[in-house]
Amino acid sequence: MQKVKWLGVPFHFGQGNKGVAAASLFFRGIGLVQELEKVATIEDLGDLSFSMMVEKDSAIRFEQTVAVACEHISNTVSKSMTDENLLLIVGGDHGLSLGSIHGVLSKNPETVVVWVDAHGDMNPPAASPTGNFHGMPLAFLLQQAGQHKAFSWVKHTLRPEKLILLGPRSLDPEEQRLIQELNITYHSTDEIHEHGMTTLIQKALKKVDPHGEYPIHLSFDVDACDPETMPSTGTLVSRGLDSKDMEELGRELAQTQRLRSMDLVEFNPFIGSSDDLKLSLQGVQSFLTSVL
């Protein structure tokens, strides 16, 4: 059985809704960990804790808090990773992925990152329409964010040729420019529905890792899914992935036997009706089971 380390990261500073911080605790409470233990061995590392810092005016909301929190996440991820386990990082909003992926890259800078999201999440702070950090982590990882003293600890960066974007369909102009300029491997949900998830993820992995020799980190934002599949998230975008797409993605990544770490982010248990929440939970459980 797959050995999994579950790390709760109740990070909500990348956007305005605190509900995302409750996801890890909520999943435990409804028995998701026990259900996953039917297909994997789970070691629960508990939840990290964070504190609000004194803030100054900035293009990044909660800049100091975000920076300190992400450094803490990075250090914890680096210490928790092993070749024998899959590290499952349960958020939280997608801003935490600066920390998680930085920690992963500190262990192996050749790691392939598969970023699954309805959005690009690579807005430089100066170009961000909201100032919300969950729209910026890839800009920092790709060295496209500019100079920010609070993030001087960011030393391990992601090479564009090691990044795969799956599912973005709501891109800001600067994000579109960077995807083209950096020649990032990118497949929209329209492409996925036309050609199939299995075909495109196999093609993308072959492109970024021709010999299949490097570890993989999956950063999965539940808003990549269609609202009819995953309604319990704060940034719904139509024409998203369905349950079949998710299961194919999970199965293909599992079959590589190189998936070493994963973010699960932007699930908000306080959004939607009881039926919406039940549907969303079914989607999460089905997806995680396919990965494991």
Cβ 232 vs Cβ 272: under 8 Å: yes
Cβ partners under 8 Å of residue 287, min gap 6:
220, 243, 246, 247, 249, 250
For residue 179, the number of C-alpha atoms closer than 13 Å in the C-beta half-sphere is: 21
Q: How far apart are CA 23 and CA 160, in angstroms?
A: 30
User: What tens digit of pLDDT does each residue of 88-123 get?
Assistant: 999 999 999 999 999 999 999 999 999 999 999 999
pLDDT in the model for residue 19: 97
State the CATH number of the domain containing residue 13.
3.40.800.10
* Mean pLDDT in residue range 36-45: 96
State the DSSP H helix or E strand holding residue 47, giving kind and residue range, or none if neither. strand 40-47
* Mean pLDDT in residue range 129-140: 97
Cβ partners under 8 Å of residue 71, min gap 6:
99, 153
pLDDT in the model for residue 1: 85
* Mean pLDDT in residue range 225-244: 95
How far is residue 147 from each of residues 4, 125, 141, 143, 158, measured CA to CA in Å? 36, 10, 13, 9, 16
Residue among 162, 29, 165 at smallest CA distance from 90? 29
User: What tens digit of pLDDT does each residue of 244-280 get?
Assistant: 999 999 999 999 999 999 999 999 999 999 999 999 9
Total domains present in the chain: 1
How far is residue 5 from each of residues 38, 252, 262, 279, 287, measured CA to CA in Å? 15, 20, 10, 25, 17
pLDDT in the model for residue 16: 87
User: What tens digit of pLDDT does each residue of 157-213 get?
Assistant: 999 999 999 999 999 999 999 999 999 999 999 999 999 999 999 999 999 999 999
Q: How far apart are CA 74 and CA 77, in angstroms?
A: 5
